Every structure is written in C-alpha cells, then in structure tokens.
Amino acid sequence: MKIYQFPDPLLREKSLFIKEIDGSTAAFMERLKDRMYVNKGCVGVAAPQVGELKRIVVVDATGHKKVPVSHGLLLMANPQILAVSGSTINREGCLSVPDYTGNVERGDYVKVKYMDKNGEEKIMEADGFEAVILQHEIDHLDGVLFIDRVKNTKRDLFPRKNY
C-alpha cells in the first residue's frame, strides 16, 4: 500500500461513511493494520493515507513511551469524536508529511464512537497521547493534516532530520 504524501490533493478530501463491515472492508482494515506496523514507531494510519476515501483508521499505541496504558489495537470504522476536553501540546509527525514534525495543541481527553471490524458499535474514552493519536487520525478522514493545526509555522514546524 502506497502512502500518499502532502501535497497530494486526495489527502484534502473528505472520506465516505462505511454502511456495513463486509468481508472486503474487514480485509482492508487488516491490510491497513499491516501497513501501520511496517513503519517502526508508527501508531496510527488512516485510509486516505493509502488512497482510500473511507472513514477507517487503525491505531495501536501499545508500548509507546508516552502511553503507559493503551487500548491496544483499534480497527475503527466511522470514528466520531463525541467529546473532547483538556489541552496538551505534542510534537506530531505523519507518514503523509514525512519531511516535518510540528507542535500541535489538541484535547487531552476524547470520547469516540465507532464500529469495530465485526460491525459492532463501540464507545471508548482515551486520554493523554492516545487521545492525541485518535484526533490526528480522525482528522485525516476530513482532509485535515497536522500541519494545518500548527499555530505558528515559523516557531512550531520543524524539518525532520531522519525518518
């Protein structure tokens, strides 16, 4: 699966809602998960990043130093943020913006509704860096990149030394 990179216009489009989780959708979620794990240190990927305008994200913050306790692997269709609170600033990076990282302010807590790979509706709560990851990935579904949320590009956007 090719990762689409900024400034590809596809990354700016809104993704379509998934009506049901059928066999091909579940298989796509598995391939997206595999694509995430290929990149060392990657904690999430969204369908638009691989050229599919579907409201699907995959997240796994297990073992990340900023996430002492995670929800493990999350395969999410139609994730919708129901609530956000608090505030935190983190350095974010993205497979679709490989040359930069940036300081981004996001909520420190989120409540998210989604369908799992079995088509079951779930509601989860996350805080800290796992909440940040979820917000970052869900942004992709609306054509929003982390660089859009950097308040001051002169002060808070940094060339990446290596990836």
> Would residue 3 count as lying in a domain?
no
The number of folded domains in the chain is 1
Spatial strand order in the sheet of 74-85:
44-46, 56-59, 74-85, 109-115, 121-127
> Would residue 132 count as lying in a domain?
yes
Tens place of pLDDT for every residue, the chain, 163 residues? Answer: 999 999 999 999 999 999 999 999 999 999 999 999 999 889 999 999 999 999 999 999 998 999 988 999 999 999 999 999 999 999 999 999 999 999 999 999 999 999 999 999 999 999 999 999 999 999 999 999 999 999 999 999 999 876 5
Judge whether 125 counts as a catalytic residue.
no
> Would residue 127 count as lying in a domain?
yes
Residue range(s) defining the domain that contains residue 69:
9-159
Write down the catalytic residue from 52, 92, 130, 137.
137
> Would residue 2 count as lying in a domain?
no
> Would residue 24 count as lying in a domain?
yes
> What distance in Å separates the CA atoms of residue 20 and residue 36, rounded to the nearest whole number?
23
pTM: predicted TM-score of the whole model, two decimal places: 0.96
CATH number at residue 64: 3.90.45.10
